[in-house]
Structure 1
């Protein structure tokens, strides 16, 4: 069920949407209590207080434009778990629960001197990007502490309004920032958190969620190796890289500051994944400060000899799992 009687560009209020759909008028993510809809409210001024900005990316891909929206939670790590993360989970699994996502942008004050409420401009209906439904980044919380935030990647469905004033600000210069290693190793939520048990596996797989075997394996491999490095006394981080003139924000895998090594972690040892690892490392290493880290690929098992030769030709070390341990083959 869509939202009746409103079209992109319409000016409304939270109170009016509450009367129409229920769910309340507070918070950024409001699951309706009476219809299969989730209302998402964006406020540029509010987001900037916490070091993030929601809106359209300047860059489009073959699937069209992308709208980024930061999840709920102003203190501590944002999560999909428990009461604190329930609204983020509602967005993540909206396809499983058959709920539509509708986005509104704050647009000045209502024409009432006795009210401090803001007008809300309807942007349109959205769905999560099926390939990458969200990314995890570092930002400051309301107490200025470093924490992980969830940034949803939304794709418009049907009619939508794309205005330049709703776009995320382009970076003035390229800059790489060291961030928490936990940004590179987000916990992958389990589908059964909100997915009804009666749903068939085929239905769950159609939902936009990072539940494919390779992605789970990649996450587990990255987190396991991070724990190993920390146990050995290494200082480990990741990098967020802003690219000049764009709204692109790249996030690396692990960076071992103790050994000055930059890792690409892949969930399979196939040719496609090895090529992806090489491309990522060659892309990211240009921007890392301090410069010239050793490049390393972490794989779940040893690849075929030709792929090992490919990595070594590019000066990239290989680390792979071997019966619960990690084996390293240096490039030189």
Structure 2
């Protein structure tokens, strides 16, 4: 039975055994549900994860919604599924469980001699939640058998209901990789249902079909989640735009791929939207045609082009849901970037002027 004797304060150094004795849960898995305590205990060890092909775990750069921590789900071989511990973490809110993040930090000392033992020490980071807007990403990584597969990379945020903010250290935010690498990957993956069974965060079976890697499997344009609705709507619109244009290119007989880029010093990979292998065109899509989004897309394309291994005549293109107007079309033309917009009848291209 849990004793609840351990006080979880961010920065606390403890062991998995002490946590289990206080709150329940096992001591060997990366994601341990503690049912009686209504907790999900998450143990992260970025250095150990490297050996198993997990190069994603750790604190990412803050985005428009604040701090973000990546955590790779369970499953050493084959495509990871939203079952077991992964399901418990994904639907912790539906099950009314809090999430608590620990990061491996050295080795526990012997209680008498003070010498190092073989027990991994855990530093308590704080209480977290799975991101409402984008709970997880699908990424390509090698499994324990060396085969490439799809892994689930959870996006964890500080829980606004927690008594204390999470406490990260410098090494949590630094990617251990020393090289920059870009690999070409498929833009489709086995589709996962993103609804819990019986509303309790249980196992979720793989569903037939395919979905863009950078999106979740959604069937509606709107959401009832308690997060900024406009941002989610824009993300959905962007994902649907990418899917529609991908289908358009494939109908023309084109091969469509994407790139996953691992950059030294950056936690989590960069991911391009679409790469038309047939015409050697790299696309960045946006959910709106606002000036700020067009400017961002230009920067992203320039950044991606530095890293990907494509033929020298690679062309850049921006995919938008509508016409951004004359001035922004002129801007893209001056940057030698193709513009593709969605129309009532399909898609329209605006090629940059030839020099």
TM bucket normalised to smaller:
0.7 to 0.9
Shift of 1:187: 6.0
Return the TM-score normalized by structure 1.
0.76
Distance change (3 Å), C-alpha of 1:204 and 1:108: farther
Residue pairs, 1:267-278, within 5 angstroms: 267-278=287-298
Cα offset, 1:264, TM superposition:
0.5
Q: May I ask how many residue pairs the two structures share in their alignment? A: 318
Counterpart check, 1:296 vs 2:317: yes
User: 1:103 offset after TM fit, Å?
Assistant: 1.2
Change (3 A) 1:203 1:68: same
User: CA 1:246 to 1:164, structure 2 compared with 1: closer, same or farther past 3 Å?
Assistant: same
Cα distance in 2, alignment partners of residues 173 and 75 from structure 1: 24
Aligned match of 2:100: 102
The Cα offsets for residues 101-152 of structure 1, whole Å up to 9 and x where unpaired, read as: 211234447869xx98644332322234566654432211233222222323
Aligned to 2:249: 229
How far apart are residue 39 of structure 1 and its match?
0.7
SS in 1 for 2:225: helix
* Secondary structure at the counterpart of residue 212 of structure 1: helix
Which of 166, 177, 181 matches 2:183?
A: 177
Range that drifts further, 255-264 or 142-151: 142-151
Q: 1:168 to 1:152 in 2, by over 3 A?
A: farther
Corresponding residue for 2:149?
147
**Does structure 1 residue 322 correspond to structure 2 residue 320?**
no
Mapping of 1:135-214 within 5 angstroms? 135-156=137-158, 158-182=164-188, 190=194, 204-206=224-226, 212-214=232-234
Gapped regions of structure 2 (runs ≥ 5): 112-116, 201-221
Contact 1:318 1:330 in 2 (8 A): yes
Query: Paired residue for 2:259, among 229, 239, 242?
Result: 239
Q: In structure 2, what is the Cα distance between the partners aligned to 1:64 and 1:29?
A: 24
Q: CA 1:225–1:60 in 2, change beyond 3 Å: closer, same or farther?
A: closer
Q: Report if aligned partners of 2:49, 2:57 keep a CA contact under 8 Å in 1.
A: no
Contact 2:336 2:352 in 1 (8 A): yes
Alpha-carbon distance, 1:18 to partner:
3.4
Q: Which residue pairs with 1:282 in the alignment?
A: 302
Distance change (3 Å), C-alpha of 1:228 and 1:53: same
Give 2:334's match in structure 1, choosing from 313, 317, 326: 313
Aligned residues: CA RMSD: 3.9
Q: Distance in 2 between matches of 1:248 and 1:171?
A: 11
Alignment equivalent of 1:265, drawn from 285, 289, 298:
285
Report what 1:199 is aligned to. Answer: none
Between the aligned partners of 1:307 and 1:133, the Cα distance in structure 2 is 33
Q: Single out whichever of 313-322 and 13-22 deviates more from structure 2.
A: 13-22
Q: 1:259 to 1:140 in 2, by over 3 A?
A: same
Q: 1:287 to 1:63 in 2, by over 3 A?
A: same
1:202-224 C-alpha deviation (Å, 9 max, x unpaired):
99532599982221121122123
Contact 1:171–1:247, Cα closer than 8 Å, also in 2: no
Q: How high is the TM-score relative to the length of structure 2?
A: 0.72
Q: Secondary structure at the match of 1:34?
A: coil
